[in-house]
Structure 1
Amino acid sequence: MKALITGVTGLRNRGVEALLTTTVDQLFKRHPNLTIDIFTETPDYDQKRLQQDNINLLNMATKHKDLMQKLRVKGSKFNKSLAPEYCLFKEASIVIASGGDLFTSDYPGALGFHLRPLELALHAEVPVVFLGQSIAFKTNDDAQKWLGVARRSKLITVREEFSYKYLTKDLGLSPNLVKHTADVAFLLQPPPPDKVNNLLKSYGVTQDRPVVAIAPSQGITRFSNCDDEQHLKSWLQVINMILNEFDAQVLLIPHAQSTSLGNDDRFIATNLHKSLDFHPRIHLAGADHSASEFKGLISNCDLLIAERMHAAIAGLSSNICTVVVGYSVKAEGIMTDLLGNESVNNGLLISIEQFIDSDSACATIRTAWHRRQEVTEQLKEALPRVTQDAVNNFDMIMEILK
């Protein structure tokens, strides 16, 4: 039996890694003899992260686009004999669309690319599952493109209530098809405590002062059309507040890395480090860490401020008070599901437009700092429910495979 996973843009983005590794682990836990094919844009790099047996990494950066051209003859008819690669889909028992927020209007031009392999799967009469998604569209054209695939899929699980209501109320999909679960990255496990302690020591993090982790995004201004210079200025003011007012250390977490300069968090993290003259209480976790290792580092901090959603989930799932800087429905939806509207709106969520007003950013983070113990207790109460919701994704997938 074979599962085929799409929507993997590459494991240099540790959010993608958090989604994929938990998905693979949960599938093998339920079906140890399963074979898993993974379509990824960076198979050479990803091979270093995924070394289990029964996993095949396939470079699908352009292949499924070519397949669509080969298969399509007129209208929606396909000529299967022209594409021997078609067997990749035909031999699968299930096709699972990962990615978290790929099926939105947030990334211009990307929607069609990520729908193509799912269209192929449907033409091969293979069940399609959208796994743990946030889904929202800004145009009717995008919505209709996605619905053309979604209506023929076997299961759609969404990771927050906003997406569930959008799909079932606004787009009219059946609750029998759409299920409200949770992001599968809530299941990611950190390394053992002694290994994490050694990591912290290697970066010079000490135990005599509290630690605030920061996960800035190099790409957030591009996604939100905000000013780069103002964005950097706000971060510098926030960090100065942490150093001087909180008397804390800062741990910089470049959670998403990329061969694209515009989406590599090492650049903004390094710029912040340089701009503050390599202050001795600022530590940059710049090694090629796994998503699990980053989660271990974050889990030992007193507060997390994250522009990357899966860095935020690493903190939230470790009972760490987390301030999320958001630019789309996913941030508000996930935070609200976990902690409720009142708590989220009282210092745990700030839009990127508000964040680049440095005074507003500092006020929000100051509020969270003073509430951090209260938020930790809320997370301890809420996480068992959310973790079970994340597990439910895979129980439903197994029902389809059976």
Structure 2
Amino acid sequence: MVRERSGVVVAGASDDTGNLGVTALNRSILAALHHHRPDLEITVFDFGQGERVDTCRVGDTEVAVRRCAHRPGRRYWRSDNLSTARALARVGPRVGPAASLARARACLDIGGGDSFTDLYGPQRFAFIAALRRLALGVGTPLVLLPQTYGPFRSPRRRAEASRIVRAATQCWARDRRSFEALTDLVGDAFDPARHRLGVDVAFALPPRRPADAVLEALGAWSEPGTVGLNVSGLVYNDPRARERYGHRLDYRVVVDELVRRLLAEGIPRLLLVPHVHAAPGEIESDRTACEAVRDAVDPSGRRIRIAPDLDADEIKWVISRLEWFCGTRMHATIAALSSGVPTATIAYSLKALGVFESCDAGDHVADARELDENEALEVVLASFARRHERELVATAAERQRRRALDQMADILEVVG
């Protein structure tokens, strides 16, 4: 007897990576699914061990989930290895992630929001593509949640991405520029019912107030008047970042000078906000980058403080209290924009502009690939000068929040 499929798999949004942007996607997807279908069975693919029953706190709600481990790499003896699961599924037995996919009515895959590209190297693209091929291989409808598509440096990987989006049941882009890239990938298979323009799901992330002890430690830095800055360790800590991402400017020079200029403007407090937690000294570590900025500009720490390591919804609450925010990590800026905080970004790739344009804030984007140091500082400081335009930002934020919730209702109609 064939077992009836039930529930959904949520992929590409594991909450155990240390990247608060990916955690924000996880919590936002769970919040939207629970909002529309509180009884829906949800399996989250993560990097834990085996299959487990768990709950995730989303705002003030506990959402029941089943967790299923999945991994890339060459440890082929593991049942959670995607290559092993895919090979076994071809000949019959379905184990680990293949079994979870085969039980589900759909796989909702967001690919970390921006990882369906070879910009971050061939290994990450291979991992994202392998999971999507596995879902298609076991006959599970694949829905690509709102995300960025590309860019692709390799024609071979671009062709593979094209095959995947053509085979998917539905594909959503998170902004108009990403939608244009999706349309290009789909080519003559474009179908307006299957290929949709949406918004980033994190616009609907519910904020959560941190514990009293955290707020006491932050003190005045969680009060109105504080300005916030996210520094990306991925770019700041990497001596080859300029070459790797094709930047015209030196990111370290821009960030350090921006902090000096903000302090010279007389701001009372600057809160540096890490959005990726990694071991000290690792290139990905935002905290390592923030410490370097503080030590270079204000070693006494009198006017600069670094936010503690919090969960994605808690750091959104902290960001929502700021007078103005500038960030490089995409979902740090979305936490600000979706809270109605006037926001700028020093963007290291194309993904930022489309999201900011969707909030009528395209002129607050300093593109590191296009501008030199002085030009980027001019854009960011012009945004800072307009920090009192909160009503315009709040209107756009509410519009995007409603769209983020409404699009999940459309997606669930496809799931059935």
Which TM class, normalised by the smaller chain length?
A: 0.7 to 0.9
Conserved 8 A contact 2:71-2:81 = no
The alpha carbon displacement at 1:19 in A equals 0.6
Structure with the largest fraction of helix? 1
Conserved 8 A contact 2:230-2:272 = yes
Please point out which of 93, 105, 109 is paired with 2:118: 105
Which amino acid in the other structure matches residue 90 of structure 1? A
The alpha carbon displacement at 1:178 in A equals 1.0
Please point out which of 176, 195, 209 is paired with 2:193: 176
Equivalent in the alignment of 2:414: 400
Where do 5+ consecutive residues of structure 2 fail to align? 1-5, 73-77
Please point out which of 358, 365, 369 is paired with 1:349: 365
1:78-97 → structure 2 map (5 Å cutoff) = 78-81=90-93, 83=95, 86-97=98-109
Which amino acid in the other structure matches residue 332 of structure 1? L
Equivalent in the alignment of 1:240: 260
Give the match's secondary structure for 2:143. Answer: strand
Give the match's secondary structure for 1:373. Answer: coil
Which amino acid in the other structure matches residue 194 of structure 2? L
Task: Give me the whole-angstrom Cα distance separating, in 1, the residues matched to 2:288 and 2:354.
Answer: 28
Please point out which of 11, 14, 23 is paired with 1:6: 11
Judged with a 3 Å threshold, the aligned counterparts in structure 2 of structure 1 residues 42 and 324 are, in CA distance, closer, same or farther, namely farther
Judged with a 3 Å threshold, the aligned counterparts in structure 2 of structure 1 residues 177 and 185 are, in CA distance, closer, same or farther, namely same
Conserved 8 A contact 2:271-2:306 = yes
Judged with a 3 Å threshold, the aligned counterparts in structure 2 of structure 1 residues 67 and 162 are, in CA distance, closer, same or farther, namely closer
1:2-401 → structure 2 map (5 Å cutoff) = 2-8=7-13, 10-41=16-47, 50=56, 52=62, 54-62=64-72, 66-69=81-84, 71-72=86-87, 78-81=90-93, 83=95, 86-98=98-110, 99-109=112-122, 110-138=124-152, 139-169=154-184, 171-172=186-187, 173-192=190-209, 199-205=214-220, 210-220=225-235, 221=238, 222=241, 224=245, 230-259=250-279, 261-275=282-296, 276-285=298-307, 287-339=308-360, 343-345=361-363, 348-353=364-369, 357=373, 359-374=374-389, 376-401=390-415
Which amino acid in the other structure matches residue 68 of structure 1? S
Judged with a 3 Å threshold, the aligned counterparts in structure 2 of structure 1 residues 85 and 175 are, in CA distance, closer, same or farther, namely closer
Task: Give me the whole-angstrom Cα distance separating, in 2, the residues matched to 1:331 and 1:371.
Answer: 19
Which amino acid in the other structure matches residue 185 of structure 1? A
Residue identity (%) = 22
Task: Report Cα offsets for 1:197-227 as digits up to 9, x if no partner.
Answer: 8745422326898321000101025352559
Tell me the TM-score normalised to structure 2 length: 0.84
Task: Report Cα offsets for 1:100-135 as digits up to 9, x if no partner.
Answer: 111123211111211212212112111111011111
The alpha carbon displacement at 1:234 in A equals 2.5
Task: Give me the whole-angstrom Cα distance separating, in 2, the residues matched to 1:82 and 1:279.
Answer: 55
Conserved 8 A contact 2:143-2:171 = yes
The alpha carbon displacement at 1:243 in A equals 1.1
The alpha carbon displacement at 1:169 in A equals 4.4
The alpha carbon displacement at 1:307 in A equals 0.5
The alpha carbon displacement at 1:398 in A equals 1.4
The alpha carbon displacement at 1:171 in A equals 3.8
Which amino acid in the other structure matches residue 47 of structure 2? E
Aligned-residue Cα RMSD (Å) equals: 3.0
Task: Give me the whole-angstrom Cα distance separating, in 2, the residues matched to 1:66 and 1:336.
Answer: 39
The list of structure 1 runs, each at least 4 consecutive aligned residues, that deviate by more than 4 angstroms after superposition, is 46-49, 82-85, 195-201, 206-209, 225-228, 353-356
The count of corresponding residues between Structure 1 and Structure 2 is 387
Give the match's secondary structure for 2:199. Answer: coil
Give the match's secondary structure for 2:359. Answer: helix
Task: Give me the whole-angstrom Cα distance separating, in 2, the residues matched to 1:326 and 1:277.
Answer: 26
Which amino acid in the other structure matches residue 101 of structure 1? D
Where do 5+ consecutive residues of structure 1 fail to align? none
Judged with a 3 Å threshold, the aligned counterparts in structure 2 of structure 1 residues 158 and 36 are, in CA distance, closer, same or farther, namely same
Which amino acid in the other structure matches residue 291 of structure 2? T
Judged with a 3 Å threshold, the aligned counterparts in structure 2 of structure 1 residues 71 and 161 are, in CA distance, closer, same or farther, namely closer
Task: Report Cα offsets for 1:363-391 as digits up to 9, x if no partner.
Answer: 222211221223x2222232232222211
Tell me the TM-score normalised to structure 1 length: 0.87
Which amino acid in the other structure matches residue 106 of structure 2? I
Give the match's secondary structure for 2:12. Answer: strand
